[in-house]
Amino acid sequence: MNKLTLGQRSALYGLVCVTVVYSFFPIYWMIISSFRDDNSLYANFSLLPGPFTLTNYEVLLELTDYPTWFVNSILVAFGTVCITLVMSVLIAYSVTRLQFRGKMAVVGVMLYAYMFPPLLLAIPLFSLFVKLGLADTRLSLMISHCTITLPLGVWLLWGFFKQIPLDVEEAAMVDGCSRLRAFVLVVLPLTLPGVLTVAIFSFLLSWTDYTFALVMIGTDSLKTLPAGLDTMVGMYELRWGELMAGSTLIALPLLVMFMFLSRYFIHGLSAGALKG
């Protein structure tokens, strides 16, 4: 690659800075707002952090259902991750390795479903859940989330499995493994970055979903965080302090996850999507 001139380099850095500020300012604002009292929130606000108070967090955790929503969110997200992982690994593996009629149609249809906006799927799904007696349950929300996470998971893992040479699996089978054991002992460890990517992605989608949560869950005690926070936006009252504290707490697990797993995430995305 050619060396950039000083001017080009400065322009590039400038562009990067603008992008970073543009993306991070709302997050920054959310965090510092969550630590402010009403006075500095609505009146004398400044761009710099402070003054500090934990009142918003105390109110949020003691006077609202926030802890319940948090548990609900965790349960739904983990459920979604588990269902997605088991199903997408099995589907992606069969689509790559086995010969059967309509194989490509399976992948095609799944990707097609992925293109629908969630709201379009949510309403027919809800009426389906009502008929099945699953309406207003956490399970219904997990299943709804899988309509997005599963196609994505299959698509990503499909790329990963295609990269694993068939030889390696056959070598394991000749070495004494059944197909399943060869898969668990040899194929799965080799696709670990892909599996982790799918897990992170599913968690992310489920954790931050608002649309499905709003449609599927009516009972307050079953709501997940984004839908729960929404109930705090009253008709006559907007409690920004608590809202910001709630949002900060939603973002916290994502931040931690990214810190530890971003390497896999980025590798997984590029390997699965581009090389596949």
Residues that bind other proteins (CB under 8 A): 165, 167-168, 170-178, 181, 185-186, 189-190
Rounded Cα–Cα distance for residues 242 and 63 (Å): 10
Is the Cβ of residue 172 or residue 216 nearer to other proteins in the bound state?
172
Shortest distance in whole angstroms from residue 169 CB to other proteins: 9
Tokens, residue 137: 């349950």
Closest distance to other proteins from the beta carbon of 151 (Å): 28
Which residue's CB is nearer to other proteins, number 148 or number 186?
Answer: 186
Phi, psi of 45 (to 5 degrees): -85, 150
Compute the least distance from the CB of residue 81 to other proteins, in Å. 23
- Using a 10 angstrom Cβ sphere, with 0-12 exposed, 13-18 middle and 19 or more buried, the burial of residue 159 is buried
CA distance 101 to 68: 47
Q: In which residue are the tokens 């709302």 written?
A: 26
Closest to other proteins by CB, 16 or 171: 171
Q: Count the neighbouring beta carbons within 10 Å of the beta carbon of residue 231.
A: 12
Q: Which residues contact 78 (CB under 8 A, 6 or more apart)?
A: 203
Tell me how far, at minimum, the Cβ of 167 lies from other proteins, in Å. 4
Closest separation in Å from C-beta 192 to other proteins: 8
Q: Which is nearer to other proteins, 34 or 191 (CB)?
A: 191
40 vs 191, which CB is nearer to other proteins? 191
- Show the tokens assigned to 225: 């965080």
DSSP states along 45-75:
--SS------HHHHHHHHHSSHHHHHHHHHH
* Cβ distance to other proteins smaller for residue 72 or 197: 197
CB of 173 to other proteins, least distance (A): 4
